[in-house]
Structure 1
């Protein structure tokens, strides 16, 4: 015969296991959603390259692909979405609309989550090459020139009007379980003058 204390601990254990599995499921869902979204975005990007504009990757999307970011040294290949909003960044890196259009003169800013699409930023090294492909099919290269930690409200991204500059930004620190930190990891890359092969 089980004592009331044993029954209590058994029920507590079942509850704790249920909550644990639920939390694991929630965490896995974030990665599954990000991966599935990139597949749908790749398909939408192919159609964009074929001439369709403002193509939504799924019917209820409020964003569309604007560029493709690759980092050959790290095997990164991601579709960049228009807008840097929470609902956009859940599916891929986002283009900050107040910055220069991707590929044009000025500073183009891309943002992404530190635990999914922009987790690779911590592995970038000085002089690593980044390549952006645009809707017209052209490619432009960038070289990493600076990596630093900045404060979300006290520091700003150095903007330029001349030349091409790419800023990649994510929350920092990378391994923190806390969301909404006040720190950002900023990677600045300079546009290359030679064409991309």
Structure 2
């Protein structure tokens, strides 16, 4: 009897482990597929000049591709910094201009996924932002700092053409906090 109970418990533990491992693999598979669909939708938007959603129920759409050539990193940015948008990539903050227009364009993303590469960005690096209309804005990193989320000092209507990439701080943290890492860049 004791042997049968032990086998049952071992079988249940193995099943639970397989279910958890399957869920983890499923999440990664969905994330991988989402990036492919975002890339395709962005390319179609550039080619047609129309808003193209990567899947019909997404509450946002691709608006730009942000890249740092020195690092070989890029990510498709979505419109509006909603929770759903941030789950899939960087997001263009509503109320800020598009990259390359007068003012300060702001894009935000999670520190442990799409903007993890910001930890390696250096002053002087070039940032390329390809917009949905096919235009590319070039920026040079001028500064980076850490600020409270509610005290960023970012002025979307500041004179000139600026870019701010924002993510949570510190990198590698596992809990939420009030600090944001800001990369500041000016148009070239």
Q: TM-score, normalised by structure 2?
A: 0.86
The alignment status of 1:103 with 2:100, answered yes or no, reads: yes
The answer to whether the Cα contact below 8 Å between 1:31 and 1:116 also exists between their aligned partners in 2 is: no
In structure 2, the residue matched to 1:69 is 66
In structure 2, the residue matched to 1:195 is none
The alignment status of 1:40 with 2:37, answered yes or no, reads: yes
Q: How many residues were matched structurally?
A: 187
* 5+ residue gaps, structure 2: none
Q: 1:151 to 1:17 in 2, by over 3 A?
A: farther
C-alpha distance in 2, partners of 1:29/1:165? 39
Matches within 5 A, 1:54-93: 54-93=51-90
Q: Over residues 111-152 of structure 1, what are the superposed CA-to-partner deviations in whole Å (9 max), with x where a residue is unaligned?
A: 001111000010101111100111221211111111111112
Q: TM-score, normalised by structure 1?
A: 0.82
Task: Give the Å deviation of 1:62.
Answer: 1.2
* 5+ residue gaps, structure 1: 193-197
Task: Give the Å deviation of 1:55.
Answer: 1.2
In structure 2, the residue matched to 1:18 is 16
Divergent runs of 4+, >6 A: none
Q: 1:156 to 1:36 in 2, by over 3 A?
A: same
> What SS class does the counterpart of residue 36 from structure 1 fall into?
helix
